[in-house]
Structure 1
Amino acid sequence: MDLRIPTPDGKVAVVTGGGRGLGRAYAEALARAGAAVVVNDVDADAAHAVVKGITGEGGRAVAVVAPVGPTSTADRLVATAVAEFGRLDVLVANAGVLRDRVLWKMTDDDFDAVVDVHLRGTFTCARAAAARMREQGGGGSLVLVSSPAGQRGNFGQANYAAAKAGIVAMARTWALELARSGIAVNAVVPVAATDMTRTIPAFAPAIDEAERTGAPLPGWLRRGHGLGTAEDAAALVVFLASDAARGITGQAIGIGGDRLALWAHPKEKAVAFAEGGWTAAAIAEAWATGVGAEPETYGIPAPTPPEA
């Protein structure tokens, strides 16, 4: 692995959903590290505010106001990067929406809206970016933003969790497909106090309390549960965009608060065999003391403060 100082100085990046929250933190951190940034958002005021802040500090940035999902938006983002800055080196596929409902109340529109932005939007933007990177040569980096909900599931977020799990699967697949082109593909799994994580019951009370009191999130939460600010999560994106991350691909990497983590890929945890195959009765008899003796947990654990 290249151990040079992790800076994307001179690189060109596209950040989708870059007007607020994590996306804004990613765009600003990349710009401060020397990258030129195409800031995408559906909110024109938010996108232009981020660009104004970056350029006001001497950085380079332009805004593209468009919804992520359609191929036309993906093509426009890549074309803007090339027209304004000459090339494209990094894609941060971050744009997202929420339509939280329990299964029996979730509508087709609730499901489709989330999958279209998160999953299809990641696909169309990554496809356009990869085509450009392969054409220009020199490799590149696709940073796909997932979520703990995609790794563990979360109440009321079937659409979101499914899309975020799919993003990690795409990262692993594209890492295989793009390896010969020198294009790294990784999923980041950030945890930060944003409007999106406020909807997660496990984190909402802690975020609300910190905002009410004006105090920073407590150390046990930053360390034990990896919950911090959006800015805490931006360092990982800067690292993955840099030459110091060459050779790192196909990974799901978590960051938040004081915590940096590598998520395990799914694998068989326990295996049993039956000569000639299994019957339902044999499975029922063997389950509790065999393969099913230690079932996996599911759901995002609720933060629990240490006892006083």
Structure 2
Amino acid sequence: MDLSGKVAVVTGSGRGLGLAYARALAASGAAVVVNDVDKTAVDAAVAEIAAAGGRATGVTAAVGPAATADLLADTAVREFGRLDVLVTNAGILRDRVLWKMTDDDFDAVIDVHLRGTFTCARAAVTRMRAQGEGGRLILISSPAGQRGNFGQTNYAAAKAGIAAMARTWALELARSGITVNAVVPVAATDMTRTIPALAPVIDEAERTGSPLPAWLRRDEGLGTVDDVTGLILFLASDAGGDVTGQAIGIGGDRLALWAHPREKAVAFADGGWSAEAIAGQWHDGVGARPETYGIPAPQAPGA
């Protein structure tokens, strides 16, 4: 995927998945604006990309405020002359069950993930539309936003909102030639290490230098951060120019297209539905095959 001449902004790219995205984009020829709240991480990422022959500059700022979004877009234009690709990866966790989650826990996650995606996309789209040559918005969502996850009210809500924004913006930006997709990545990172069932497996792989087990890469779709970058490059490239409004999962050996919410079963009653009528038909009618919810716990074969 040749991205020569393209310019990308990747939020939250000082480490983890964001750094993998930035490295891959730069290796494919794009100039990259690296962003993180940690200046040391930003400087290290920029130096690493430059040492590999790529072009990068850094912005140390917290994602969420409109001022940060404008700074990122302005930096791309000032340093590299344009903006073609935005990857909204920045995120934090404040996991707690509903009755223990504070207002600050909720607001902090919503501000970075949801508001940060909105403000950065708005700033990027303003520049892309002015250029008149299309563009790419690649919004990072999560399985938690598709299915829900215990202890992640704030995170799941934000990531579900990001997928909904991708569908909305795909409609609004089609005439401008700007594609918008939600990527649903699964990879071994500091975030996934917080999952009790995964932590020992990830720690063992890192300790021994061995790859993650085949069952985890295939059945759970969990691999390294570099396993996710192929989808980012595809969506940023000309080859992905006709893909928009989709939620696409990737991780380990798995690539998947997520279904959008839609009516699964429908029934009609002349004059409308009373509570008694619903109760009388629910279990044998519309509700006969209820949807599952929650991310299934990973389980090794034979466990």
- Fold agreement, TM-score > 0.5: yes
Q: Distance in 1 between matches of 2:214 and 2:127?
A: 43
For 1:301, the equivalent position in structure 2 comes to 296
Shift in Å, 1:307? 2.5
Q: Which residue of 1 aligns with 2:38?
A: 43
Equivalent residue letter for 1:302 = A
Shift of 1:202: 4.8
2:270 counterpart residue number: 275
Q: Which amino acid aligns with 2:60?
A: V
AA matched with 2:14:
G
Which consecutive residues of structure 1, in runs of 5 or more, have no partner in the other structure?
1-5
Counterpart for residue 280 of structure 2: 285
Correspondence for 1:3: none
1:71, CA displacement in angstroms? 0.4
> Given residue 216 of structure 1, which amino acid in structure 2 is its aligned partner?
P
| 2:258 matches 1:263 | yes
SS at match of 1:54: helix
Residue deviations 1:125-148, cap 9 Å, x none?
000000000001110000000000
Partner secondary structure for residue 37 of structure 1: strand
Of residues 189, 193, 199, the one that matches 1:198 is 193
1:13 aligns with 2:38: no
Give, in whole Å, the separation in 1 of the partners of 2:202 and 2:5: 36
Aligned-partner Cα distance in 1 for 2:206–2:149? 23
Which residue of structure 2 lines up, in the alignment, with residue 108 of structure 1?
103
Deviations 1:98-133 (A, max 9, x none): 000000000000000000000000000000000000
* 1:69-148 to 2 correspondences below 5 Å: 69-148=64-143
Tell me how far 1:293 sits from its aligned partner.
0.9
Q: Secondary structure at the match of 1:38?
A: strand
Percent identity, please. 77
3-state SS of 1:10 partner: coil
Aligned residues: 303
Aligned to 1:178: 173
* Higher RCO, 1 vs 2 (CA within 8 Å, ≥6 residues apart): 1
Corresponding residue number in structure 2 for 1:228: 223
Quote the RMSD (CA, aligned, Å). 1.1
Aligned to 1:61: 56
CA distances 1:217-258 after superposition (whole Å, capped 9, x unpaired): 111110111000111001111111111111110000000000
SS in 2 for 1:109: helix
Structure 2 unaligned residues grouped into runs of 5+: none
Secondary structure class of the residue paired with 2:8: strand
CA offset digits 1:233-288 (Å, max 9, x no partner): 01111111111111110000000000000000111111111111111111111111
2:147 alignment counterpart: 152
1:213 deviation in Å?
Answer: 4.0
1:247 aligns with 2:231: no
TM normalised by structure 2 equals 0.98
TM-score (norm 1): 0.96
Q: After alignment, is 223-232 or 213-222 more displaced?
A: 213-222
* CA–CA separation in structure 1 for the residues paired with 2:149 and 2:198: 12
Deviations 1:18-46 (A, max 9, x none): 00110000000000000000000000001
Give the letter aligned to residue 108 of structure 1: D
SS of residue paired to 2:168: helix
- 1:157 and 1:207 mapped to 2: Cα distance? 21
Query: Partner of 2:23 in structure 1?
Result: 28
SS in 2 for 1:295: coil
Partner Cα separation in structure 2 for residue 218 and residue 20 of structure 1: 23
Q: Which runs of structure 1 show a deviation greater than 2 angstroms over 4 or more consecutive aligned residues?
A: 199-215
